[in-house]
A and B are shown apart, each in its own frame.
Chain A
Amino acid sequence: MKQRNTLVALFSALLMVQPVVASEVQEYTLDNGMKVFVKEDHRAPVVASMVWYKVGSSYEQNGTTGISHVLEHMMFKGTDAHAPGEFSRIIAANGGQDNAFTSRDYTAYFQRLHKDRLPISMELESDRMRNMKVLDEEFAKEVQVVMEERRMRTDDDPEALTSEAFNAAAYVNSPYRRPIIGWMNDLENMTAADIRAWYKTWYAPNNASLVVVGDVQPEEVLALAKKYFGPLQPDTITPPKPVKEVEQRGERRIIVKAPAELPYLLMGYKTPVAKGTADEWEPYALAVLSSILDDGNSARFAKRLIRDQQIATSAGAGYSPFARLDGLFMFDGQPAKGHTIAELEKAIRGEIKLVKDELVSNDELARIKAQVIASEVYEKDSVFYQAMQIGSLETIGLNWRIGEQYADKIKQVTAEQIREVARKYLIDDHLTVAVLEPLPLDHKKPHRPMGEMLR
């Protein structure tokens, strides 16, 4: 009882933590439709500058999967004004770091620089937004690099292979069934002309956002954005057709056989995502539910499956409310020594049953909320993270304010709501299960993982 009162008192203290004097995000729209977001963080003389495009693997079609990511690679391969590789050389010589990333719902390019060098990154980014050149010989080499990337990340990694096959089984018509890096077959058949066409379809100021976070003044950033991006011509952008995953009518199970030492289990239930309206509490309740099960050492999986029952050597639960299309509430894990995948699955299902049958305790709920409230402060330690949050929310079609409101939404979630979303969404008919079945690693004649990826 004493412990309990202490916890309650501490939680009250947490609720009084003032949101960090959050500098507001300044939001502008240029005449050509490009959006600009600026957030001040004056702790260090640095800046994170990002350009986000509304295109990613969920915009792609069968036969050309992976094209958004290959295009991202080609964006470093020159424009009329700059030779291949020059972009990175200029940024590096100015003390900067640059890179890019592709996801299901976005492609983004970033530079981290001393604040004085911001104009350089803007000049280069605005140039490649409209003037990229896809040279045939550069494409031929770079698509090989991407195939090597695929071999490294997926083909030679049994858990990644399982995850890729899982997505292809869990989704029927949602584009989330396709791997971001693309199927090897599609990479092998991709052409420079495909890249040029994809670039022309999606890369225009009216399909992009500039996000700048750091030691800057918003008005100065706006002036730079107008100077460099303002003159770019907008283009006609046809947004992707709305796609809604068909209803799943019954549990799906797949097995993936690959050379491996250890088995691996993946489970996913169909779930909705946040749509950005004020009163939709379900995604936030799902997020809290995922933390109740797996958010560090005080969560249920760590306590019960790993430490107490010792059925799992690792066990995870994950859900993200923020994506363009509906997704999955995921579980994964590896059985502990002497236990099987079947036992692990049974144990995870047992935990799911428990959250459907019984309300989570006040202490558990308070702990999750405490961690979210604290994380809100900790996240401000990273300039890069702050820019990521604004860029990703805006690009998936939500609003940066959703990020600012996240902790408040989580604070409002009740134990009853958690039970309700568990009962509504974690149902057998909407479940897909994938199991990695290890093939021996130790023979001379090597196995070929997933034959259809090899030519």
Chain B
Amino acid sequence: MNNWIKQRPQWLLLACLIVVSPLASAGPAIQQWQTSNGARVYFVAAPELPMVDLRIVFDAAGAHDGKLPGLALLTNGLLEEGAGKLSANQIADRFAAVGANFGASSHRDMSVISLRSLTQPELLDSAVATLTSVVTQPTFPQKALDRERNRLLIALQSKKQSPDALTDEAFFHAAYGNHPYANDASGTEATVKRIKRQDLLKHYKQYYVGKNAIVAIVGAIDRKQAEALAETIVGKLPAGQPASAIPAVSALTKPQLVKQEFPSSQTHIQVGQPVLSRNDPDYFPLYVGNYILGGGGFVSRLTAEIREKRGLSYSTFSYFAPMRQNGPFIMGLQTRNDQADEALKLLNETLKNFIDNGPTADELKAATQNITGGFALSLDSNAKIIDNIAAIGFYQLPLDYLDSYTTKVDAVTVEQISDAFKRRLQPENMVTVIVGGTVDNAAR
């Protein structure tokens, strides 16, 4: 669970932060079947490298935390703290001894367990045996819960020293109100303190079941081996039931401004609203349109207005984060405190202009050329392929999703973008979060 604490390496500076929009694209032959207990399996054969990637995704994340935000994350994180007769140390040693990489993470929609292993049989068999114990026989030791709870509390505390994290947190609270998406997976200090071992056991029993699981496999094995792997790892879980639906997100009905004082030299700003689910018919016009507005790295309108023309911010962006229920549209930046008003005004004007007038034909052409021309780049490694097929499985997108992706992007018109942005975004009802210092705290 070391991943809660992120150390940012300072040794490498990029010319621009690339905001990775949820881009997928065409391609690999996906085979799909179910295990005996109803887990849906998605498999892509990748024979070139002697390795295999496995990902098990449960619909068991923060969105189902109910009154105990943080529960799904702790449950997921504690899987490797003890399983069957194995201690946390033994589990870690067994993965390491065969060079396997184990990972667990939990977000708002997905709780994920992942494994990367070499395919040489003795090594893979050992890694899979350990993984199977972790998935099917976790023991959730009380001592481990106490310790990981303390570590999570520290992680929550460390967010309070990051203006960026505070901005993000305030945005979701304001935009989602009472909806479960309001909290991120790590919950709050109050709820994390209340979580008991019994809650973990109950969460695990209800959600870590066959019918609530997706298994994605990419690697140098054949279909038969992939079937056996999936059956071994999740086949012994009870079939159970799929998780109940996450409630729909209410549309915002009035503007909200959240201002938070923070002793930083920059002010961080986010503006947006809940808008898009993963299976939404407007996905393509909004996605392509956003590339033009603020998704296209160096070449977006926001970057042109705020960074290139005026030098106001290092990173300015907009994105849609489609989720099971309506995920947010967010645009944002960070700038020296005394420039915050000017930058916020530009952010809003750029959006309004885009909604009112839509993109130009040239902009659309450049956008589709980038997305379709760069299509191969989003599938050029096993790691990227498994990202894509796990999402296809989890959100039940069609199996030809990747094959038809570029065609759908190419079909998007200026009118469709204009229409979708007008219908789906309401600048008059957006949440605006401003976290930063006062002007006299700025550098000059």
Measured CB to CB, the residues of A under 8 A from B are 6-7, 9-11, 13-14, 16-18, 20, 43-46, 69, 72-73, 76, 84-85, 88-89, 92-104, 112-114, 117, 140-149, 151-160, 163-164, 179-181, 184, 259-262, 295-298, 302-303, 306-307, 310, 313-314, 316, 332, 334, 336-337, 363, 366-368, 370-371, 373-375, 377-378, 380-383, 438, 441, 443-444, 446-449, 454-455
Contacts and interface: CB of A to CB of B under 8 A. Distances in A.
Given A44-B376, A94-B370, 19 more contacts: A73-B15, A88-B299, A93-B366, A95-B369, A99-B15, A113-B377, A114-B376, A148-B313, A164-B10, A180-B11, A261-B158, A295-B96, A298-B92, A332-B7, A337-B150, A337-B153, A382-B381, A441-B160, A446-B261
A334 B154 contact: yes
A9 B437 CA distance: 60
Given A89-B299, A100-B14, A382-B381, A14 B98 contact: yes
A10 B11 CA distance: 36
B126 interface: yes
A117 B374 CA distance: 10
A284 B306 CA distance: 46
Contact of A17 (B50, B80, B151): B50
A101 B13 contact: yes
B15 A93 contact: no
A296 B92 contact: yes
A297 B437 CA distance: 39
A93 B374 CA distance: 9
Contacts of A114: 373-374, 376-377
B70 to A, nearest CB: 16
Interface string B78-115: 00100000001101110111111110000000000000
A97 B441 contact: no
18 contacts: A7-B93, A14-B118, A20-B49, A43-B380, A85-B299, A93-B365, A95-B369, A99-B297, A104-B11, A156-B264, A259-B263, A370-B98, A374-B98, A374-B99, A375-B99, A446-B264, A454-B265, A455-B444
A99 B14 contact: yes
B5 interface: yes
Interface in B312-338: 312-315, 334-336
A434 B144 CA distance: 30
Interface residues of B, number: 96
B370 A95 contact: yes
A72 to B, nearest CB: 6
Contacts of B187: none
**Which applies to chain B's interface (DSSP): helix, strand, loop or mixed?**
mixed
Contact of A181 (B13, B88, B154, B313): B13
Contacts of A97: 18, 297, 374, 377
A158 B297 CA distance: 28
B118 A374 contact: yes
A368 B372 CA distance: 42
B122 A156 contact: no
A370 B298 contact: no
Nearest to A369: B99
A448 B442 CA distance: 9
A446 to B, nearest CB: 3
Interface string B286-317: 00000000001111000010011111111100
Given A96-B374, A101-B14, A334-B154, A17 B120 contact: yes
Contacts of B299: 85, 88-89, 92
Nearest to A316: B7
B398 to A, nearest CB: 22
A85 B16 CA distance: 13
Contacts of A302: 2, 92
Nearest to B315: A152
Contacts of A444: 261
Contacts of B411: none
Contacts of B296: 92
B283 interface: no
B154 A336 contact: yes
